[in-house]
Structure 1
Amino acid sequence: MPITLISTTFTREQIDSYLQADESYFAELTQISDVTIVELPTGHWPRADRARRPRGRDSCCPLM
């Protein structure tokens, strides 16, 4: 079964390096024959919706 891995923390190059080093964190990827890796370098899981702004605040950065 094909899978798509959305990688927000690791680059494709890092993942390939870890796979070659038999890093246990990526061990399951070696068992899958059809893997597409999409790099999304945000450092966190993407949101499908927009975060709510606090009421009464016009700024996206209320602490500044």
Structure 2
Amino acid sequence: MSVQHRRPVFLNLSQIRLPLPGIASIMHRISGVAMVLAIPFLALLLHYSLAGEDTFSSLLMLFHTSL
């Protein structure tokens, strides 16, 4: 008897159309990674803003001029 081997199928990911919950899941993961990566930057900003009034005002001017 011959054994039939099931070979893996090549999936072209650019042609697969994800349903809306799949897209929402991927976007949720991306936003979660972005928030985790932003934590050290935000903690550093908090540290500098609490260091003194002059550093707080310089950070405030930096953010007002860059926007």
TM-score, with normalisation over the residues of structure 2? 0.22
Higher helix share: 2
Indicate the structure with greater strand content. Answer: 1
